[in-house]
Amino acid sequence: MIDESAVRSVAAVYGIAWVATLAYVVILNAKLGRIERQLDELAGILEARSGDG
């Protein structure tokens, strides 16, 4: 017979590890979004410049 509180503790530990990994992915995704916005801005500057030329 497995102790229920032991199962809860094991689940908590593994759950926290997975949540931390997912949080890392979310942060990376946010960073990619920022890079994407900066690339758009850069493309805008270059397009404006080629339009002037």
Partner 1 sequence: MPHTARLDRATAATLVAASLMAAAVALIFFYVPSDVDQGYSQRIFYFHVPIALTTYTLFAWGALNAARYLWTGREDLDLKSYVPMHLGVIFGSLTLVTGSIWAHISWGTWWDWGSRELNTFLIIFLFYCAYFMLRFSVEPGARRSRYSAVYALLGVGLIPLSVLAVRIAQDALHPIVFRSNGVNMDGSMFLTFCVALAAMLSLAVSMYLVEMRGKRVDERLAQLRRLAQEAA
- According to the binding rule CB under 8 A, does residue 42 interact with partner 1? yes
* Minimum distance from residue 26 beta carbon to partner 1 (Å): 13
Record the tokens describing residue 10, joined without a space: 């094991």
- According to the binding rule CB under 8 A, does residue 22 interact with partner 1? no
Residue 36 CA to residue 5 CA, distance in Å, equals: 46
- According to the binding rule CB under 8 A, does residue 29 interact with partner 1? no
- According to the binding rule CB under 8 A, does residue 21 interact with partner 1? yes
Distance of alpha carbon 38 from the chain centroid: 17
- According to the binding rule CB under 8 A, does residue 13 interact with partner 1? yes
User: E-assigned strands of 1-53?
Assistant: none
